[in-house]
Amino acid sequence: MFLKNVFKQTLLVVSMAAALGTSSLAMAADDTIKVGVLHSLSGTMAISETTLKDTMLMLIDEQNKKGGVLGKQLEAVVVDPASNWPLFAEKARDLIEKDKVAATFGCWTSVSRKSVLPVFEEKNSLLFYPVQYEGEESSKNVFYTGAAPNQQAIPAVDYLMKEGEVKRWVLAGTDYVYPRTTNKILEAYLKSKGVDEKDIMINYTPFGHSDWQSIVADIKKFGGEGKKTAVVSTINGDANVPFYKELGNQGISAEDIPVVAFSVGEEELSGIDTKPLVGHLAAWNYFMSVDTPENKEFIKKWKEYTKNDKRVTNDPMEAHVIGFNMWVKAVEQAKSTDTDKVAEAMIGQEVPNLTGGIAKMLPNHHLTKPVLIGEIQENGQFEVVSKTPEVAGDAWSDFLPDSKPIVADWTGKETDGKPCGNFNTETKKCSGQKYE
C-alpha cells in the first residue's frame, strides 16, 4: 500500500511538471545563478535604460559561453520598473525575495537608486549602479560604477573655465536629487573659484518636460549680458530631445553658449537631428569614438549581439561591463555568491576599461576612472577634446562643508578599524550604515 501511494504521488508530480512543460527547466533553474536586471523599459527613462538591459543580457550570454560562474550558468531575471520610482523598490524586493538573485545590476536616476537602497540594505543584497551620480553616499550593499562628481561635474567646469574662458553659468537640471545635489556642489565650487552669485543661474524642470521655449529664451538673455556663458546640463531622460531642439530653434550655437551635458550620450543623440548641436559638449568616462583595441572589440560584439549595425555604445554600458566583470571575478575569488564574501572580494578588483586603462574598485565602493570631454559631431558621435588620467571616485564632496570631513572605507583602514560609509574624521563617529 505504501509503495502504491508513493508511485501515485510520483506519477502526479511528473504529470503536473510535464503538463506545465517545466520539469527539466525547474531542475536547470536550481543549477543556475540568478542575476537581477532592474532597468526601466517603459516611461520617460526607457530612452536611456533599455540599452542597459540589453547590455546585461549580452554580458550574461557571453559569460555563459565561457562556462558560467562557479560551474553554473547565469540566469538573467529582467523586470520593468517603468520609470516609476516606488515601483523600483517593489521590483527590487521581488528580485531578492522571490527570485533569489545573487546580485542586481540596475537603476539610472538617483531617485530610483534612493528608492531601492533601503531594500538592498535590509535584505543584504548587492546592487551595481552604472550611472554618474551626485555622490554623498556609500553603502556596503552598492557598488557605484558610474562617476562621482569629482569624476565628471568638477572636471567639466574646469575645462570650460580654462578652455572656454566661461564666466557665467547656467545650471539646468531635472527636478530630483541628482541634479539638485550636483548643482549644490557646483555652485559651491564655482563660488570658491571667485564666481559671483549673480553670474550663476539655476533652473529645474520636471521629468519629461517638453516646453522649453521660455526657459531657453531666459538662458539666451542671461548669456547675452557681456560675459561668456555656458550651460551645465543635468537634464535627464527624454526631456533632452525638446531641450536641444529648442536650442537649435533659437539659434543658440556652441560658439555662443556651449552646453556641457552629464546625461546625454550616444544613445540619446541617436534619436535627434544633431546638426544644430555640433560643438556642444558632454562629460563622461567613455565615448564610443575612443580608439582602443578593447573598445573596437566591444563595439563589434555589441553590434553582432544586437544584429543591428546602427546600435551605439555609451558610458553607462561600459560601467556595466566593468561592474559585471568585477562581480564575476569576486564571486570566483570568494568561491561563493554570499553577499558579504563577494562584497569583501570586490574591493581591490581590477579589470580593463574600454578606454585603454584599468578600473580599480576602491574601499569606498567607487571606481578609478578617466574623465573625458567630448564634442558633439554631426554623426551623433563625440570627438574627445580632453582626457585626464585615472581619477579616484570620491563619495563625499570636499566642497560641501558638512561633507568635507566625511570618508567612506569598507575595509576600516581610514575609519578607525570599523568599516563605514559615513565616517566623520573630526568626531571619529560613523553616522551611517556600518558593519556590525
What confidence category does residue 434 fall into, taking pLDDT thresholds of 50, 70 and 90?
low
Contact 379, 277 (CB under 8 A): no
Residues with Cβ within 8 Å of residue 409, at least 6 apart in sequence: 363, 364, 415, 419, 420, 423
The cell numbers describing 25, all together, are: 527547466
What's the pLDDT band for 163 if we cut at 50, 70, 90?
A: very high
Tens of pLDDT along 302-329? 999 999 999 999 999 999 999 999 999 9
Q: Give the mean pLDDT of the chain.
A: 91
Looking at 22-36, 123-137, 166-180, 376-390, which range is the least confident one? 22-36
Neighbour tally for 310: CB within 10 Å: 7
Q: What is the pLDDT of residue 192?
A: 96
255-264 confidence digits (pLDDT tens): 999 999 998 8
Q: What homologous superfamily does CATH list for 150-284?
A: Response regulator (3.40.50.2300)
Sequential DSSP letters for 136-188:
----TTEEE-S--GGGTHHHHHHHHHHHS---EEEEEEESSHHHHHHHHHHHH
Residue 294 or 13, more confident: 294
Residues paired with residue 366 on neighbouring β-strands, in sequence order: 144
Q: Which of 20-29, 30-39, 70-79, 95-104 has the lowest mean pLDDT?
A: 20-29
Give me the mean pLDDT over the 357-381 stretch: 96
Q: Where in the chain is the domain with CATH 3.40.50.2300?
A: 150-284
Q: Once rounded to an integer, what is the mean pLDDT over residues 197-208?
A: 96
Asked if 126 and 150 touch (Cβ cutoff 8 Å), the reply is no
pLDDT of residue 431: 85
Residues 394-418 have pLDDT tens digits of 999 999 999 999 999 999 999 999 9
- Residue 21 pLDDT greater than 80, yes or no: no
pTM beyond 0.85: yes
Amino acid identity, residue 75? E
